[in-house]
Amino acid sequence: MNTGSIINIAVIILLLWFVYSRVRPAKGLKALGTNDFQNVLESTEKRMLIDVREPGEYKTGYISGAKNIPLSQLSGRLGEIPKEKDVFLYCRSGIRSKNAARILLKNGYTGLVHLQGGLSAWSGKLKR
């Protein structure tokens, strides 16, 4: 095997690892489909629902009771999220909410749930 082939294989492996690290589930995060998410959300008393989309996206429609804390601002606004509550996260497709969960997990949060597929999969009503 020549050096060029080895480099190509190494680049492909690194690329695959990067993609996998972005889409893999975060440990300690419960991913729920739309019906389960809604049922668990409604049956949990000590909870906080967070929409991690940007403000312009939030204004187009959000799940009732959601607080808008964009992923881009999350690290600076951790003080607004009580650690003693279960935290429900969602975004448009589910990717940003997974990334938000990783940030929260690194900062000692537990009881994290995210809407698998995000609002794209949501069948419930939205507030505007």
| Active-site choice (29, 91, 101, 119) | 91
Residue 12 lies in a domain: no
Domains held by the chain: number? 1
pLDDT at residue 33, as a whole number? 94
Cβ atoms 52, 90 nearer than 8 A:
yes
Is 91 annotated in the active site? yes
CATH number of the structural domain spanning residue 42 = 3.40.250.10
- 116: number of Cβ within 10 Å: 19
Residue 13 lies in a domain: no
Residue 66 lies in a domain: yes
pLDDT at residue 97, as a whole number? 95
Q: DSSP code of 60?
A: T
Q: Is the pTM of this model over 0.85?
A: no
Nearest CA among 125, 120, 96 for reference residue 29: 96
Cβ atoms 105, 27 nearer than 8 A:
yes
Task: Give the tens place of pLDDT for each residue, 83-123.
Answer: 999 999 999 999 999 999 999 999 999 999 999 999 999 98
Q: Rounded to an integer, what distance in angstroms lies between the CA atom of residue 55 and that of residue 70?
A: 7
Residue 20 lies in a domain: no
Domain, as residue range, for 58: 26-121
